[in-house]
Chains A and B, each alone.
Chain A
């Protein structure tokens, strides 16, 4: 009888050490390793809700490690094992999708979390994040619709959305066409230093082609032509990409204003019960 109780106790004794290790690893930025330790705790846990709590922490660490596939695999297990943790898992799914640059999916999860969350702080965070994520996806109509549903929206959020709506995007295709003239595509997107570098490099290599061709140095001509082809194709590609970069940067700036530094983290003292703390 004594031994039968000693077996779980022996395993249980290791749990605080594993938990401390996981926490320390996370503090040192070794999020993937911390996730593995939380998974170890989950596998030792018999109670489904407590096990799901540790899995939730593992998913959280995988998300912080920038490993969305593993984080989502954890989220799937949590939802299958403990439907009671569905609401905090929605927030995690939203953050994973956002980190993985799937903004429309992230916005859907943020909106679902806002609907299910009981605390006003959680709802405010989710609404801000949903609007910001829709702006990142350049879905202005969706951002305005989400703003319309939020009756107590702060004026700073309204201003950020309207400022974004008033601005103008660049046309990446036009940037690509302009890139046929070395550097002009970059200049169109406002990247003047890149434009100058592209113009100078293309100019030097074009002159090299002309000079070696004129002197019938065909070996050097072939090598310089290869490099010039690379620089010239880079100018066209850069023109296209600079347009996209500009539009993305503009949307991200607006999204940052909407978020206004809002953040959350799990309350570690309550683990494996998942309790979220929000800050603005």
Chain B
């Protein structure tokens, strides 16, 4: 009699495991795409795999992965804000300290990249205190040490962190930092970027997009300014002078939904000195 029930139970067990087998590959794919830095695809796959995941820790890891990928992918502001809110929620609700720590660290890094170090500080402090793995704690500690050096008043809120960070200082000091990634553009470049913002918000909506190049001249200037600083000024002047000739030559057209554009990247005009071809 007992053996009579064993077979259906076994069959039921296998059926229950079936989604895990099927979706397991999706989680592996998300992991692979994330590790390779294919952010838009990693975001999509992680979201898909999280929907089908039955394990809590796996779902938390996939949620973290999807949110981080959404922040690193070229998404619009609303999507990025939603991803940031998801990471903040994950930091509050996650069961595993590792998930909480990684979420807090990523929120801190994201705010640092947006140039909001004072808002990043409490998230980095949370990541440091989370009891997550060494890489998370060390990365958060390195950022805190640097931010505390730049503005010592930040220590007032979290004075208890001073001693452990001072102890770890020899290890932390040489780690790569997000805080140092941000470049502060020179006065001339800032004026150019302000003009670009003015053009994009006030002039372009009225006259429509006139540029026939890819990327557009304003996007070209913003990209050049962030990558090459003051050299972006001669680069954009050269681009504006060349534009009619490039359009007239009509080589390698790109068919976009509302226009035909002609490729002219920043690298094509900096390869001879930037080392990027």
Contact = CB atoms under 8 A, between A and B. Distances in A.
A174 interface: no
Contacts of A226: 188, 191
A237 B234 contact: yes
Contacts of A234: 233-238, 240-241
Nearest to B15: A3
Contacts of B32: 39, 43
Q: Name the prevailing secondary structure of the A interface residues.
A: helix
A197 B239 CA distance: 12
Most chain A beta carbons < 10 A, residue from B188, B235, B242? B242
Given A40-B25, A43-B32, A233 B245 contact: no
Contacts of B238: 234, 237-238, 241
A13 B271 CA distance: 48
Interface string B224-238: 000000010111111
A3 B238 CA distance: 68
A107 to B, nearest CB: 14
A172 B237 contact: no
Contacts of A236: 234
Most chain A beta carbons < 10 A, residue from B11, B15, B18? B18
A115 interface: no
B242 A194 contact: yes
A201 B235 CA distance: 15
Interface residues of B, number: 38
Contacts of A69: 36-37
A234 B271 CA distance: 17
Nearest to A237: B234
A223 to B, nearest CB: 9
Interface residues of A, number: 41
B237 A101 contact: no
B242 A237 contact: no
B36 A36 contact: no
Contacts of B244: 193, 197
Contacts of B235: 234, 237
Given A70-B36, A193-B244, A44 B237 contact: no
Q: Name the prevailing secondary structure of the B interface residues.
A: helix
A79 to B, nearest CB: 16
B78 interface: no
A39 B29 contact: yes
Nearest to B246: A194
Contact of B25 (A43, A102, A230, A245): A43
Interface in A131-171: none
A50 interface: no
B211 interface: no
Most chain A beta carbons < 10 A, residue from B238, B267, B272? B238
A96 to B, nearest CB: 13
Interface in B9-28: 11, 14-15, 18, 21-22, 25-26, 28
Interface in B46-88: none
Interface string A66-84: 0101100100000000000
A198 B241 CA distance: 6
B157 interface: no
B25 A194 contact: no
Interface string A218-242: 0000000010011101111110110
27 contacts: A4-B14, A7-B14, A10-B18, A11-B22, A33-B41, A36-B29, A40-B25, A40-B29, A44-B25, A67-B38, A101-B271, A102-B277, A193-B244, A194-B241, A197-B241, A197-B244, A226-B191, A230-B192, A230-B236, A233-B233, A233-B234, A235-B237, A236-B234, A238-B241, A241-B238, A244-B271, A244-B272
Given A39-B29, A229-B233, A244-B271, 13 more contacts: A7-B18, A67-B38, A70-B38, A102-B277, A172-B272, A193-B245, A194-B241, A226-B188, A234-B234, A234-B241, A236-B234, A241-B269, A241-B272
Please list the 8 inter-chain residue pairs (A to B) with the smallest Cβ-Cβ separation, ordered nearest first: A234-B237, A101-B277, A237-B234, A233-B234, A238-B238, A244-B272, A234-B238, A234-B234
Interface of B: 11, 14-15, 18, 21-22, 25-26, 28-29, 32-33, 36-38, 40-41, 45, 188, 191-192, 231, 233-238, 240-242, 244-245, 267, 269, 271-272, 277
